[in-house]
Amino acid sequence: MILITGGLGFVGVHATRALLGLGESCVLVQRREPVLPDDLAADAGRRVFTERADVTDLGALLEIGTRHAITGILHLAGSVPWPPGAQPPVTGAREAVGSLLNVIQAACDWQLPRTGIASTIGVYGGAAATGPLPEDLPLPMVAGHPIPSFKKIGELLSGYLADATGAEIISYRISPWGPGGNPASPFSAVPQLVHAAARGTAPDFSALRSPACAGDGFDMCYVKDCARAMALLQLAPRLNHRTYNIAGGKALTNGDVAAAVTRLVPGAVSGLRDGRGPGSGPPVCLDISRLRADTGYQPAYDTEQAVADYIAWLRAGHER
């Protein structure tokens, strides 16, 4: 039984479905009142269980282990001060790092065989490299946003604690997009392009940190593929590394998605600028050879399949 923190969040529900598909059962831990999607509610009390707890509360987290036979943890709840500015900086940082330490403490107390920690493709920001980026590429000691900053901290802490305790703690560098994600992403125009096409509106790029340009993008992974990869890693009999890129293995540009949208929804408006944005380099792609070698993973969705699936999801009445 895999405990998933943030189990009812964007990635969490997809990870739950992927783990169920591989024969696992799951305990979904959520800070807010847990409400299961209809498809997961069908397995409530049998293969899917919910717990309301905040991972900043070690006692509440450990109590879950008295009610369920936990065999692994997939930590998706963030361990990042969020939203930025919601708390005094030192308080937010303390809670963020503390929540990660609580998860690892629970894993050690329960003597779990494997704990997976969600990191981000953002840790590569500013890295001096070309071509597919491997996991052992040296990373810059700076980051332009709280998410990659705290994910780097998390990877370093996890490595130290894995060495010190003997626990297997694996970092998953992810870049998901798709059903359930934030349409007003500050990092990518892709969700807004799909939402606009599904609703017959012009895309609103006002939340982006930089202009929406056709040539910009990075190695985003459709969330269903991302979730399946994490499930495969979580359940693999043996892993040979502590860090894994979970991605498509190629860059996904805004222009790629706009082209797929236009083929599927003729007349859809992209609103993208030509070329790349000011200061943008070539779109980043990740080396996923470790993931493939240790799990046999292959992406199931190409760009057009992913866009079609996402549009169908939104047109079925889902807000996100």
User: How many alpha carbons fall within 13 Å on the CB side of residue 234?
Assistant: 31
Q: What is the DSSP letter of 205?
A: -
Do 14 and 84 lie in one domain? The reply is yes
- How far apart (Å, rounded) are the C-alpha atoms in residues 35 and 53? 13
Do 199 and 168 lie in one domain? The reply is no
**Domain CATH number, residue 70:** 3.40.50.720
Write out the two tokens for 220. Answer: 């985003």
Domains: count for the chain: 2
Do 107 and 143 lie in one domain? The reply is yes
pLDDT of res. 149: 96
- Say what the alpha-carbon torsion angle 295, 191, 151, 106 is, to the nearest 10 degrees: -70
Average pLDDT of the segment spanning 80-89:
87
Do 94 and 206 lie in one domain? The reply is no
Burial of 31 (0-12, 13-18, 19+ CB in 10 A): middle
On whether residue 245 sits in a domain, the answer given is: no
Do 167 and 206 lie in one domain? The reply is no
Do 10 and 148 lie in one domain? The reply is yes
Residue 144 in this model has a pLDDT that exceeds 90 = no
Q: What is the pLDDT of residues 204-227, one digit of tens each?
A: 999 998 999 999 999 999 999 999
Do 25 and 147 lie in one domain? The reply is yes
On whether residue 199 sits in a domain, the answer given is: yes
pLDDT of res. 219: 96
Are 279 and 232 in contact by the 8 Å Cβ rule? The answer is: no
User: What are all long-range contacts of 315-320, with beta carbons under 8 Å and residues at least 24 apart?
Assistant: 315/198, 318/179, 318/180, 320/10, 320/179, 320/180, 320/181, 320/182, 320/183
pLDDT of res. 84: 79
pLDDT of res. 278: 86
Do 35 and 154 lie in one domain? The reply is yes
On whether residue 222 sits in a domain, the answer given is: no
Do 116 and 165 lie in one domain? The reply is yes
Residue 78 in this model has a pLDDT that exceeds 90 = no
Do 49 and 152 lie in one domain? The reply is yes
Do 145 and 199 lie in one domain? The reply is no
pLDDT of res. 126: 87
On whether residue 227 sits in a domain, the answer given is: no
Residue 83 in this model has a pLDDT that exceeds 90 = no
On whether residue 239 sits in a domain, the answer given is: no
What is the domain range of residue 195? 190-216+251-286+306-315
Do 104 and 34 lie in one domain? The reply is yes
